[in-house]
Structure 1
Amino acid sequence: MGRPRIVIVGAGFAGYQAARTLLRRSRGAAEVVLVNPTDYFLYLPLLPEVAGGALDPRAISVPLPDTLPGVRLVLGEVDAVDPHARTVRYVGPEGDVGSLEYHRLILAAGSVTKLLPIPGVADHAHGFRGIPEALYLRDHLIRQIELADAAEDAAERRARMTFVVVGAGYTGTEVAAQGQLLTADIAARHPRLRDEPPRWLLLDTADQVLPGMDARMAAGAERVLRRRGIEVRPGTSVREATADGVTLTDGRDVPSRTLVWCVGVRPDPVVEGAGLPTEAGRVRVDAHLRVLGFPDVYACGDGAAVPDLYNPGRYTPMTAQHAVRQGRLVASNVAASYGIGRLRRYRHRDLGFVVDLGGREAVANPLQVPLSGLLARTITRGYHLAALPANRLRTATGWLFTAAGSRPGVQLGLVRGREVPLDTETPELARHR
């Protein structure tokens, strides 16, 4: 292969940072190849703002060719890894199948939507993992308001004005918060709906929103949501979904045309059948992020079971904060395997979390100091601008336009429902597995 080839699978937080760091560390001594289905890195934490009409999707789409000069981009989705032959197989955007040999491999494929065996969910719920889902959801919310305005039947109007979000973690909480602001804004432009505001329900089997987070932060977020009229229902989920509504686990029926599925994620199944050691679907690695038994294969991000050195016997959680740091470290350790720098173990220090609730509201705990309101909002937006690898001016301008006026209330019609199924595995990949 001439120069040693380092193949990175996935351009999420971990893969993008790995490629960026390798560019700097390798100094051209190795060929860095990045395999990804799209030509951009998606800044996922701001995706709810796209669905809520506060940001243009281009603001959170970081172009890979522009920001990773020197990295060879291969458009495709890896569907098989052979660590013995040192090859990865991928399916291109037009269904073509290709393969790549590697000298070092970094698995950073990330995660996919986690489905639960609940009747009707796969057919009637909307997922939330990428730009197509966010654009579709935005159009769908606007369309339901417009159809409710045109409906003569009161029951149909109420159903179209009712929106159900399952999963009160970071994504679900922010989707409900941004969606409520968008639908309230759109509904206010329809005089016939003046006496019937949009109804939002946020469900979770946990006993609080933002489960696992500091209780004071969770309580602050819940107060904001309830103040806006969002019905927060801890300890409740969906028992069955149909085209006309959902049945909750407490037995209540909720007529609705909108079910947003934000229950969680699972590791990307790309490693299935590769013969790599796994733990609950995640590739097992040592503290240096090397796959156990395969010293030339590394893994990081959501798809890697990384030992938590501060909590022996446990693994680091699947968060963007860990993915970013692991991506940087894995690149440094791959470079160290070529004699550039030294090998280091993954250690982390929790920097806190931020949750954007739209408007002037947010909750945050930088360095474990719980904050809410405008101060938390300022810190949250400052954090996102600092974390964005590009498009900072575009993002800040979008926020300013939203703050100064109303959210755009027109459908774009770019993405149809059949193009964003809840099951994120594409038919092409399923055929080649």
Structure 2
Amino acid sequence: MGMTMTQKILASHAGLKEVKAGQLVMANLDLVLGNDVTTPVAVNEFRKMGVDKVFDKNKIAIVPDHFSPNKDIKSAEQCKCIREFAYEKEIKNFFEVGQMGIEHALLPEKGLVVTGDVVIGADSHTCTYGALGAFSTGVGSTDMAAGMASGKCWFKIPEAIKFVLTGKMQKWVCGKDIILHIIGMIGVDGALYQSMEYTGPGLANLSIDDRFTIANMAIEAGAKNGIFEVDDKTLNYVKEHSTKIPVVYKADDNAEYSRTIEIDLSTIKPTVAFPHLPDNTRTIDEVGEVLIDQVVIGSCTNGRIEDLRMAASIFKGKTVNPKIRTLIFPATQKIYLQALREGLIEIFIEAGIAVSTPTCGPCLGGHMGVLAKGERALSTTNRNFVGRMGDPLSEVYLCSPAVAAASAITGKISSPEEVM
């Protein structure tokens, strides 16, 4: 039996000719990632191992982005811990405030992840890099520590779901709507410990930013990873951002999948996930009247330049509802600078929006956008669990940048068509 994309990548990195679903393998790692929440624990475990050096100081990335810029003394101590470790171990890819971005936008931008890589990160949304045809997945801090020490990690080979994409998206529909549609269809456990593998002629109509968004939320369907078939868009992105040599792994024609799902992109409408799970979805015409208190545009899911451009095209010449706190977080310094040069930041500020330095802060209810009891946020982030962005009695609704921007203007969850 043939192998899927994920299975081929893991087989290669394990030094095996073939692998099968359910098989345990130890694979070599191309990159190990941690942030300011998970790395301090990993540092403690690393020191317990009695290891003097990391396996490769060029293949570890540490990005303080969750509670950074530091929100309090405890977060400052967390960042101090990992800063000292990074300097002590001469870790090349340590990105501090002013240099950093949200980790899952920053690493591809820096060229640290390319096609065919195996990447682990002590953050569940490490699956983002599957957009580039890499195998990437989230792990615990102990696995991160072991990865830093040995450059290896154990994996159970996952089964795969094949998503065949056809058609072209309607106006105002983007990658966020596609993945919310998929999660709404299969459920938050619909791909449990499986690989979500995307192929089909519809891929040609998805930008790299769309693919990052879709791969990012694979974990929201319970998946081990998400991965896209490599095409010219992928290779052009890698060539532009990295000097590393990509290795393309294509699924065999006789690869075995647990199921195949065909999706016509032209049928997908702007989609919103209601509290308190990402699979509680409704299309924009099914939403009804939902008043909101705050809008957040950004995060590792939707803080890229295409997201900001989409939002700016709606905000231009308009102002947000005075009752709505609207926050925008470019995902990296480079994206922030590009948005500034394109005039997007001016559009946002003139619309009455607060624009922040890159941070994960509001997504996890850490800082810079925490919700009070009974408040509702509409957000382009990836999770809407109970208490995710603040008080347990607050609510989070997930959507695309276009729906978020339109809703900030009207004060309720709205279609972009309503304000354009």
TM superposition score category, shorter chain reference: under 0.3
TM-score calculated relative to the size of structure 2: 0.26
TM-score calculated relative to the size of structure 1: 0.25
The higher radius of gyration belongs to 1
